[in-house]
Amino acid sequence: MAVQTCYQHTTKAKTRRIHSVAQSQQLTDYNGLTALITGASSGIGRLMALQLAKNGARVALVARRKDELEALAEEIRAQSGEAVVLPCDISDRQQAEQAASQAIKKLGSVDLLVNNAGYGGQQKFLDWDLDDVEHIMRVNYFGTVYFAKALLPQMLQRDRGWIVFMSSVSGKIASPKKTAYAATKFAMTGFAESLSLELDGTGINVLTVYPGTIDTPFHNSQMRNNMPEKVRDSMKSADGVVEATFDALAKGKREVTYPGGIAMGYVVKALAPEFLRSQVLKTTKKES
């Protein structure tokens, strides 16, 4: 009888913990939450920072461009928010570790990490300078690894945290003239998926976001000029990515694609890869 009672208590405790962990992965209340956003100076990162601060989060802003970070911080403070400016080249491991350490020191902890920083490119592989091929991997992939490695331990200590990886549809479905960029996003996708499985049941939720072609400064003139007209004309607003990200966090999702219809391509790739290949080639063919 005593053994049965002990078992019942243990089972109830485990059930409560599992329920608590499940609830903790659904992020709906940002009041007092601490967040670090990389690539916060423009585009999706900037909008994420503004919305997080508006929702009551205390934010650490990370990017290379200090002046733009200061301007963003002033905008947040003008609305009674709290923002810490941390200029950093995330491709530099030492700088990334120092920025993460400063964020913890100034905010007390980091509950939410938004790995958003990155850049792209669109050109034939043989035209792609190898120095840039290496650099884009350091920024887009290793930068996320550095911040995850630096901030995850203090999340685990509290059994609470969220890590967002801002990947790309190019991390699921490759297209021509994106060899170096797609490689970084496929690497991020694999890293995030493996980390999510590793952290299952810990109270730490990993969310990977897969935006399509989004109209932000990320797409420079060289990339836009190399885009097929159909792709360029179908670019979506960054506001939609931000909204989809917050919705996914609220529901405790592990991945979200925006626009959502693109996700059907993943199913097609699995079931009919040659058909998807033909459609990618057709869609990305440069129009004259």
Identify whether the C-beta of residue 208 lies closer than 8 Å to the C-beta of residue 255: yes
What are the catalytic residues? Answer: 181
Give CA–CA dist 210/228, Å, rounded.
20
Q: Quick one: which of 63, 64, 28 has its CA closest to 49?
A: 63
Distance of CA 133 to the CA centre of its chain: 21
Identify whether the C-beta of residue 101 lies closer than 8 Å to the C-beta of residue 150: yes
- Pull the structure tokens for residue 192: 């995030």
Rg (CA), the chain: 20
Taking 3-state DSSP, the helix, strand and coil percentages for the chain, each rounded to the nearest 5, stand at 60, 15, 30
DSSP 3-state of 203 = coil
Task: Report CA-CA distances (Å) from 41 to 18, 28, 158.
Answer: 38, 25, 29
Identify whether the C-beta of residue 237 lies closer than 8 Å to the C-beta of residue 218: no
Q: In what order do the strands lie in the sheet with 58-63?
A: 82-87, 58-63, 34-38, 112-115, 161-166, 204-211, 255-258
Q: Quick one: which of 241, 65, 236, 98 has its CA closest to 164?
A: 241
Phi/psi of residue 206, nearest 5 degrees = -110, 120
